Amino acid sequence: MRSSFPADSPLHAFTEAEVQAIFAAGSLRMCVAGEAIVTEGEPGESMFFLITGRAEARLHTGTTVRTYGPGSYFGELSFINPGHKRSATIVAVTDTWLQLLDQASIEKLQQTHPNAIFTLLRRTCAFLVDAERNLVGNLRRRNEELTETIKKLEFTRQRLTQEEETARTDGLTGLSNRRCFDAELPMFMERAGAISTGLALIAMDLDHFKPVNDTLGHAAGDFVLKEVGKILRGQIRKTDLSCRIGGDEFIVLLADLSEDAARNRAESLRAAIGAFPHPGNDQGIRITTTMGGTLLRPGDTVETFMHRADEALYAAKRAGRNRVHWAREES
């Protein structure tokens, strides 16, 4: 009987006598094409030897994971360990004849051909070892793929962070730009309101900047703007924000300061800007700055906060420039 099956089929692991005993212990079953022989997840107590036809093991996703031809068998885990849940659905691809071995069959084989049970156990253990080895290999491969994916995601995150930082930074001075200021101001205001701390907004313009560009050229003008950027970055804290919002216009946000402390910081910035050396010094061109400042007040919106700082800046310009003017409480 064994010789009637393909020489490479699993049935050839048994002797001819064992094959005869296996078929004598079981019963025939016929399944038509498309019929489910066993169903994934159901508890099983029997196994099947495929005599003629072809069957496929399919997961619930519909993926075919194994095929069976004459001389193959499946379901041995449920046969050896009754109640074991089927790991896949086995479907007859063609009209198929099967030899079914139930729990009564295993009792017959234990009495007449116990070596057949031993061979079946050995083959099953080998199958489980191979499955575990494949699982470990797949997990290792998946882990490597996951690690590589994480690396790519981290690279993408860093690149996006850098691109976002570039988009929020003034390319000439290295200060934050108007886009950044518009995004950060509401958050500064919300934080100051939540913890009841002072928040100062200082609007500032450079005085006599146009003659630098007109007389000395734009390279000299760029030098001046860069130096102002260095001064602002060097004299404010990490909790503050300095921005170039266009041309020679700048805004500084000073967090967690009283009005007197904010005034002193503004005066310090004004003095430092007025004192740094630049290409126009030899030609009598002096760079100074005019500032208008205000402290955040209850009920302020972004618009009222900024408007008050702008009004203070205009008042400082009308008063003669190169000074800091602070918005009055009643303004």
Q: Do 69 and 195 sit in the same domain of this protein?
A: no
Listing DSSP states for 226-295 in one string gives HHHHHHHHHHS-TTSEEEEEETTEEEEEEES--HHHHHHHHHHHHHHHHHS--TTGGGT---EEEEEEEE
**Residue at 97 is within a domain:** yes
Q: How many domains does the chain have?
A: 2
**Residue at 172 is within a domain:** no
Q: Do 187 and 307 sit in the same domain of this protein?
A: yes
Active-site position among 95, 248, 256, 300: 248
What residues contact 32, with CB distance under 8 A and at least 6 apart? 92, 95
Q: Do 185 and 118 sit in the same domain of this protein?
A: no
Cα distance between the two ends of the chain: 107
Q: Do 182 and 316 sit in the same domain of this protein?
A: yes
**pLDDT of 2:** 66
**Residue at 58 is within a domain:** yes
Q: Do 244 and 308 sit in the same domain of this protein?
A: yes
Q: Do 90 and 190 sit in the same domain of this protein?
A: no
What 3-state DSSP class applies to 13? helix
Q: Do 108 and 182 sit in the same domain of this protein?
A: no
- Residue range of the domain that includes 103: 2-134
Q: How far apart are CA 296 and CA 198, in angstroms?
A: 7
Q: Which helix (H) or strand (E) holds 32?
A: none
**Residue at 34 is within a domain:** yes
CATH of the domain at 310: 3.30.70.270
Q: Do 122 and 188 sit in the same domain of this protein?
A: no
**Residue at 140 is within a domain:** no
Q: Which residues pair with 253 in a beta bridge?
A: 201, 241
Q: Do 118 and 224 sit in the same domain of this protein?
A: no
DSSP alpha helix (H) spans, 59-216: 76-80, 103-112, 114-167, 178-195, 210-211
**pLDDT of 159:** 66
Domain boundary, last residue among 105, 134, 163: 134
Tokens of 281: 């010094």
**pLDDT of 162:** 66
**Residue at 141 is within a domain:** no
**Residue at 214 is within a domain:** yes
**Residue at 256 is within a domain:** yes
Task: State yes or no: is 248 an active-site residue.
Answer: yes
Q: Do 182 and 321 sit in the same domain of this protein?
A: yes
pLDDT per residue of the chain (331 residues) written in tens, 0 to 9: 667 788 888 777 788 888 888 888 889 999 999 999 999 989 988 889 899 999 999 988 888 888 999 988 888 887 778 888 888 899 999 999 999 988 888 888 888 888 877 877 777 776 666 666 766 777 788 788 777 777 776 766 666 566 666 678 888 888 989 988 998 999 999 988 888 888 999 999 998 788 777 777 888 888 889 999 999 998 888 889 999 998 899 999 999 888 899 999 999 999 999 888 766 666 667 788 999 999 999 999 999 999 999 999 999 999 998 999 998 754 4
Q: Do 40 and 123 sit in the same domain of this protein?
A: yes
Domain boundary, last residue among 134, 164, 198: 134
Task: Give CA torsion, residues 307, 177, 179, 200, to 10 deg.
Answer: -40
Q: Do 202 and 129 sit in the same domain of this protein?
A: no
